[in-house]
């Protein structure tokens, strides 16, 4: 079994004109994380691939040798995150792309999910990425730039029942990255939210789903919901790397980027409905403003 030597030097330190990128990817054992890690390596980039179980990354190490560094990482452990991010930066001499991909979905209605289950979801989907970002930022500033990618979802703009807590984690994820983008732009660091629609990945596998203890009153509702989900057209995840590379290679990458063809129509409809509601209630909203005392003497 070939394993990348973790103590090798900084042979790929930043060189003017160098086009090879160094990626740091969480959740690289399966799904988009694995597909994008493999594709980045195939195009000649270098990748630090992390997962909860390092053995799940052995195939990458065997195939790509010294161009990949595989590391065990539980993003809910902030101390481990800091150590692993610094180890990754030292190993390759820089990190050009920090890709927060690790996450899972909690299946259950708002009433069904326990506080412990909700907390665990947020630990992985929100606090984990924050730990990675906070560990990486001092290194990216010191090297003079970089690109932080966060894998969100079209469900960061719209919601579905039964996975409402997952949706809420993506809404928080979106807000955090939008604020982050403004805060670190002066340092030459870019931020992009990657927002996939429905894809035929392992995201629906037991490893990527956790279930709240069900209540009988929701059994029929959830059955109908899952029947609708099964009927959804799903994209081919193997078709996504070229689009992702267009984003990371862009001189001015977007803050938000949809993956797939169904997201924009759905989000456009959702925002149109919201605007219509706000406008319909605008007169009532204005009554709550009260009298302005700006410029009025005491």
> In whole angstroms, what separates CA 61 from the centre of its chain?
24
Annotated catalytic residue, options 166, 168, 169, 199: 166
Helical ranges in 101-215 per DSSP H? 115-122, 128-143, 164-184
Annotated catalytic residue, options 104, 169, 170, 199: 170
Is 166 assigned a catalytic role? yes
Closest Cα to residue 154, out of 75, 228, 262, 19? 262
Structure tokens at 66: 């010294």
Residues ≥6 apart with Cβ < 8 Å to 122: 169, 172
- DSSP conformation class of 186: G
Residues ≥6 apart with Cβ < 8 Å to 255: 177, 178, 181, 191, 192, 193
Annotated catalytic residue, options 105, 152, 153, 169: 152
The answer to whether 107 and 86 are in contact (CB under 8 A) is: no
- Alpha-carbon gap, residue 73 to 50, rounded angstroms: 6
Is 285 assigned a catalytic role? no
The answer to whether 100 and 147 are in contact (CB under 8 A) is: no
Residues ≥6 apart with Cβ < 8 Å to 16: none
User: CA angle at residue 21 from 255 to 103, to 5 degrees?
Assistant: 55
Is 152 assigned a catalytic role? yes
Count CB neighbours of 38 within 10 A: 20
- Alpha-carbon gap, residue 57 to 62, rounded angstroms: 9
Please give the positions annotated as active site: 152, 166, 170
């Amino acid at each position: 079994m070939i394993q990348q030597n973790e103590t090798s030097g900084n042979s790929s330190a930043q060189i003017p004109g160098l086009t090879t990128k160094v990626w740091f990817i969480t959740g690289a054992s399966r799904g988009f994380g694995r597909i994008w890690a493999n594709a980045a390596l195939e195009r000649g980039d270098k990748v630090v691939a992390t997962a909860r179980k390092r053995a799940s990354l052995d195939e990458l190490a065997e195939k790509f040798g010294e161009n990949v560094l595989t590391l065990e990482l539980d993003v809910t452990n902030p101390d481990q995150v800091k150590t692993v991010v610094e180890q990754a930066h030292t190993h390759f001499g820089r990190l050009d792309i920090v890709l927060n991909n690790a996450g899972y979905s909690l299946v259950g209605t708002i009433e069904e999910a326990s506080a412990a289950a909700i907390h665990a979801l947020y630990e992985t989907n929100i606090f984990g990425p924050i730990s990675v970002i906070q560990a990486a930022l001092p290194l990216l500033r010191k090297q003079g730039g970089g690109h932080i990618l966060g894998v969100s979802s079209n469900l960061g703009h719209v919601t579905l029942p039964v996975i409402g807590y997952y949706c809420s984690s993506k809404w928080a994820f979106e807000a955090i990255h939008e604020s982050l983008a403004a805060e670190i732009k002066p340092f030459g660091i870019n931020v992009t939210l990657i927002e996939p629609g429905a894809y035929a990945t392992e995201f629906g596998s037991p490893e990527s789903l956790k279930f709240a203890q069900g209540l009988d009153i929701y059994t029929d509702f959830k059955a109908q919901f899952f029947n609708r989900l099964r009927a959804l057209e799903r994209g081919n995840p193997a078709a996504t790397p070229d689009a992702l590379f267009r984003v990371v290679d862009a001189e001015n990458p977007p803050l938000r980027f949809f993956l797939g063809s169904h997201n924009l129509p759905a989000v456009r409809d959702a925002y149109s409905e919201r605007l219509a509601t706000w406008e319909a209630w605008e007169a009532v909203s204005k009554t709550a403003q009260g009298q302005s005392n700006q410029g009025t003497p005491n």
